[in-house]
Chains A and B, each alone.
Chain A
């Protein structure tokens, strides 16, 4: 097996940079694994670690600072057969912290090599997420104020199943890397190194210092107990397989005759919990059953079961242009919260508008025709009143017919919900209107 190093683009690191050792160790790991260039994608981001993709004759994806893990995730999920190797520096690691945590939580089969040299080398030796507080850096005193991050500890806490830390000068670094690549899940090696161009110009750091510091830390070297679990890509496929294929959108044949084919506007003013949006949908479906076009615009706060709920419906045999309410044909008034939200248009109404009003709710004075309905007296609960109002409209042959309403209910509901809704529609008293 020949080297995967790109002969026409040899490493161009500063003299003495430990990244070069990692480059050769990575190549050796590839060779040990008998991998070909087209079986590997090197994913890198910005900084000196971002040069790695150019040194190998493999697939390569070089992107934005700190975001390498995001591309790697998309690549691996799309091409599970690829060996995805991500290189990031300690700079990119700090920038893309959220992506590291997500990768640890996911356990997708990627290998992340953190080329940790304790500073932003390329830009002048500024402090990074791993810079010791006593280091001299290009960011003045700022590193003295922040604690350096232990990548492996953070990754372990976030659920990584395989993590290791070692020196760039470790003799068997190639084997370390190979083990991480072979692990079926997200693996990370925090590889400590020397940045002669920036860091060690102002700070004393020898290979022995690195060894000593590493050995003083609690051992994290391989499988992280308690975190080993299914690989994300395979697990995703397993769960996806059990998802039911979604049927194409329901098509409603136009089979009924509508009472009116002109543009008809209905606005339902209610509260959360009154099934306003569902009633609006049913009204539209009823329209569809008679070949009418329909639009439904809803207005409700971000909270659930609290506040106003308003549905604005337009039905027409023509294509519907404006989706707002211009001159409503019907206003269904079911709660004060709904009215208060839209109390500014009542004074513009004329006799064209029919208002269905429950006695509990007050509306501003207006010229519209008003039908008072005491749903309470009829024993109809608050959550059924919107649908009950549609029943009244249907029985008046206003906007929709009873057949249209029943047909819509058959599209919208099944089984018990259907029989209950049909029963409700039937039960609503309209004879006194």
Chain B
């Protein structure tokens, strides 16, 4: 065994590099800055591009241009930057531009506390776009997840041509941790589905049996159109409501109908327990410690860790929660993802603990909540 010692942000950068990321643009913002720093070390020497934008809007705009030119692209920021990204995120959703967006969450609202952790953007990532169409959000628990989920994020962005978020947290991003990089099973690297040769090209035409348009980069032999306007298969504005409706539904369904193929999770199911604790992100680590203690003291519970947050892995949650009487959700905000759990499990009693004070939820707090169930 050989261990390396990385912080979550560095692991994200290395995961991006291994995924074939060739373009990064970002802007200094605590606690995401070290992703930018690491990408700046990794990309230029190997022929890639790393840019420091004049602001967040520009940074993601550069990435969208680069992505449409065919390069795998990533940007990273924190909550204040996601706010500024918002319009560009809507563009990437509606116009199917692959991009990985890292949100290293810090305590909000607004400027908040730059060096304090939070999971306050969980709903913002999903709903902070005009039109309300879905995105993919993956939530790492530790430095290994930062590496691995970033690789999955690139694959998903390529496969589904959409923004994929990494919902990191200062407490993972800037905490250094041992990681056995040689012992991580990497996913196969995926690329955008290219147009089959000999077929005429329409930039947003979806081939039979597929949910996502074939891709040709801007700069191909065939002229390629990209547009932020409501468009038909040819990439020109359409006012045909049937065509519009079909496209909007496809943009939703291409992700929602496929979420079972990328519902990342971990579980610790203890027999004869009637309570299931559901967590994601950094809170998972306190939850694990709490669950171990509870097991030791003869009052075991079960634990489900969600690593795919959006689209909500509804089938997974229903399946895992089936035999439990009580559900407990803990998160570092005042109640965001718990609403989804309540929605998916309307017949269950869902107890919630939320904390938003810039410090980690402690295992004792979780035990206290569990004791109360």
Chain A interface (Cβ within 8 Å of chain B)? 9, 37-38, 41, 43, 53-54, 57-64, 67, 70-79, 81-82, 98-99, 101-102, 236, 239-241, 243-246, 248-254, 281, 284-285, 287-288, 291-299, 302, 320-324, 326
Contacts and interface: CB of A to CB of B under 8 A. Distances in A.
B373 interface: no
Given A41-B218, A79-B219, A302-B114, A254 B3 contact: yes
Contacts of A82: 218-219
A53 B224 CA distance: 11
Interface stretch (B52-60, B156-164, B307-315): B52-60
Contacts of B6: 249
B299 interface: no
Nearest to A293: B178
Given A60-B223, A67-B88, A243 B54 contact: no
Given A38-B220, A62-B228, A79-B219, A74 B175 contact: no
B65 A70 contact: yes
Interface string B157-183: 000000000000001001111100110
Contact of A252 (B2, B10, B23): B2
B174 A79 contact: no
A322 B285 contact: yes
B54 A99 contact: yes
B292 A321 contact: yes
A136 to B, nearest CB: 31
Interface in B59-73: 60-71, 73
Interface of B: 1-6, 10, 14, 22-23, 25, 30, 41-42, 44-47, 49, 51, 53-55, 57-58, 60-71, 73, 87-88, 91, 114-115, 171, 174-178, 181-182, 217-229, 235-237, 282, 285-286, 288-289, 292, 359-360, 362-363
Contacts of B62: 70-71, 73-74, 77
B4 A252 contact: yes
Contact of B236 (A9, A57, A241): A9
B147 to A, nearest CB: 10
B74 to A, nearest CB: 12
Main secondary structure of the interface of B (DSSP, over half): mixed
Given A60-B223, A249-B6, A323-B175, A291 B1 contact: yes
Contacts of B363: 321-322, 326
A298 B174 contact: yes
A284 B71 CA distance: 37
A250 B227 contact: no
A241 B2 CA distance: 31
17 contacts: A59-B218, A60-B226, A63-B91, A64-B228, A70-B53, A71-B61, A71-B64, A71-B65, A74-B69, A74-B73, A75-B68, A75-B218, A251-B3, A294-B177, A322-B285, A324-B286, A324-B362
B348 to A, nearest CB: 26
A282 to B, nearest CB: 10
B136 to A, nearest CB: 21
A77 B285 contact: no
B49 A236 contact: yes
A73 to B, nearest CB: 5
A254 B183 CA distance: 14
Nearest to A313: B176
B360 A70 contact: no
B237 to A, nearest CB: 8
Given A59-B225, A63-B91, A41 B45 contact: no
A321 B289 contact: yes
Nearest to A70: B61
A64 B87 contact: yes
A323 B286 CA distance: 8
A269 B66 CA distance: 46
A81 B62 CA distance: 17
A77 B49 contact: yes
A79 B285 contact: no
A244 B45 contact: yes
B123 to A, nearest CB: 23
